[in-house]
């Protein structure tokens, strides 16, 4: 048998067979059924060739976990009133809003709507253009800070779900205030860093050193960590003092994010007196009375 010319062997080595089946990209196994691949590419979660880097994988995992918590709330609202109005505070590039719309809202023929509130105008413009391109007609992008959105006429007077994913520093507190002003039935918060309480703890540390509890935040690292923890405890008490039932859980595993807490509040018109009293007592105990207005109660 005469061997083929050397160049034929070489080409056959480097060229794939035409009838060979292409191997699915491992990234595709991480994408939820029904999710638009083109949307993920438009959001730059996937590259043009369908790849995903570690940062994009982390973002997508967080949004998908948050989706798992939000979807049953939306179904409950729609079951009760036929449609759902959701506001995403500090929406950024609107990863959450777009993915929610693609997986849940797109297939529904009702008056459900997503409002994405973001202070950076360039992000709002890009997101609005992408929504038009995708024909996601029931998404509205509002170029306002949370404080300015409080009384914005382009937002409905009442909302069903308000969410804020890693709204930094006091933006989570602004999101709570916004949700309360719009009578939100459900509030879903993934808090981020919070420097205001830690600063107040440092300021009052010398006056509080007589109390052994001060040891919990005497060292600077502990001040920051304790400040973040006590902030979220105060937020939960504040929501309970407005009649909400509050559950606290993990958003994702610690390997994906150190800012891992998820607060889910459901309005039940519960008794308010005890959590309001405990909130005031806790503020006094750790020397944070000056922040009473930040954690206001009904």
The CA distance from 136 to 149, in Å, is: 22
pTM of the model: 0.86
Assess if residue 19 is contained within a domain.
no
Residue for token pair 């595709």: 28
Assess if residue 4 is contained within a domain.
no
Q: How far is CA 288 from the centre of its chain?
A: 27
Contact in structure between 161 and 84 (CB atoms under 8 Å): yes
The CA distance from 34 to 50, in Å, is: 16
Assess if residue 76 is contained within a domain.
yes
Q: How many domains does the chain have?
A: 1
Contact in structure between 116 and 127 (CB atoms under 8 Å): yes
Give the helix/strand (H/E) hosting 246: strand 244-250
Pairing of strands 85-89, 261-267: unpaired
Sheet holding 85-89, edge to edge: 139-143, 113-118, 85-89, 161-165, 186-190, 261-267, 244-250
Contact in structure between 182 and 160 (CB atoms under 8 Å): no
Assess if residue 14 is contained within a domain.
no
Give the helix/strand (H/E) hosting 113: strand 113-118
Domain interval for residue 108: 57-291
Assess if residue 65 is contained within a domain.
yes
Pairing of strands 261-267, 186-190: antiparallel
**Both structure tokens of 52:** 């995903």
- Per-residue pLDDT in tens (0 to 9) along the chain, 298 residues: 455 544 444 433 333 444 444 445 656 678 999 999 999 999 999 998 888 888 888 889 889 999 999 999 999 999 999 999 999 999 999 999 999 999 999 999 999 999 999 999 999 999 999 999 999 999 999 999 988 998 898 899 999 999 998 777 678 899 999 999 999 999 999 887 777 888 888 887 766 667 888 888 888 888 888 988 999 999 999 999 999 999 999 886 544 445 678 999 999 999 999 999 999 999 998 888 888 998 999 7
**Both structure tokens of 105:** 């809202």
Q: What is the DSSP string of 255-273?
A: TT-S--EEEEEEE-----H
Assess if residue 286 is contained within a domain.
yes
**Both structure tokens of 270:** 């519960």
pLDDT tens string 125-141: 999 999 999 999 999 99
Work out the angle at residue 151's Cα, subtended by the Cα atoms of residues 178 and 104, and round it to the nearest 5 degrees: 55
Assess if residue 41 is contained within a domain.
no
The CA distance from 158 to 166, in Å, is: 23
Q: Say which CATH number the domain at 97 has.
A: 3.40.50.150
Assess if residue 8 is contained within a domain.
no
The CA distance from 249 to 65, in Å, is: 12
Contact in structure between 88 and 112 (CB atoms under 8 Å): no
């Amino acid at each position: 048998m005469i061997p083929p010319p050397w160049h034929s062997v070489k080409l056959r080595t480097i060229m794939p067979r035409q009838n060979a089946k292409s191997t699915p990209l491992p990234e595709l196994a991480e994408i939820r059924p029904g999710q638009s691949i083109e949307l993920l590419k438009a959001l730059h979660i996937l590259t043009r060739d369908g790849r995903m880097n570690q940062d994009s994988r982390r973002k997508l995992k967080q949004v998908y976990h948050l989706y798992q918590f939000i979807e049953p709330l939306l179904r409950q609202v729609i079951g009760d009133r036929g449609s759902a109005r959701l506001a995403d505070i500090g929406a950024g590039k609107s990863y959450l809003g777009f993915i929610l719309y693609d997986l849940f809202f797109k297939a529904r023929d009702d008056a459900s709507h997503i409002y994405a509130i973001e202070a950076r105008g360039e992000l709002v413009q890009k997101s609005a253009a992408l929504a038009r391109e995708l024909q996601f007609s029931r998404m509205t992008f509002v170029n306002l800070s949370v404080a300015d959105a409080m009384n914005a006429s382009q937002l409905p007077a009442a909302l069903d779900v308000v969410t804020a994913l890693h709204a930094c520093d006091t933006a989570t507190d602004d999101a709570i205030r916004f949700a309360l002003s719009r009578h939100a039935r459900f509030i879903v918060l993934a808090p981020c860093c919070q420097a205001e309480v830690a600063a107040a703890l440092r300021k009052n540390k010398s006056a509080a050193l007589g109390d052994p509890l001060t040891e919990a935040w005497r060292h600077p690292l502990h001040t920051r960590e304790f400040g973040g923890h006590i902030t979220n405890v105060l937020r939960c008490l504040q929501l309970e003092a407005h009649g909400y039932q509050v559950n606290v859980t993990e958003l994702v595993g610690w390997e994906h994010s150190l800012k891992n807490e998820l607060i889910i509040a459901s309005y039940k018109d519960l008794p308010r007196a005890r959590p309001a009293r405990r909130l005031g007592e806790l503020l006094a105990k750790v020397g944070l009375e000056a922040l009473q207005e930040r954690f206001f109660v009904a």
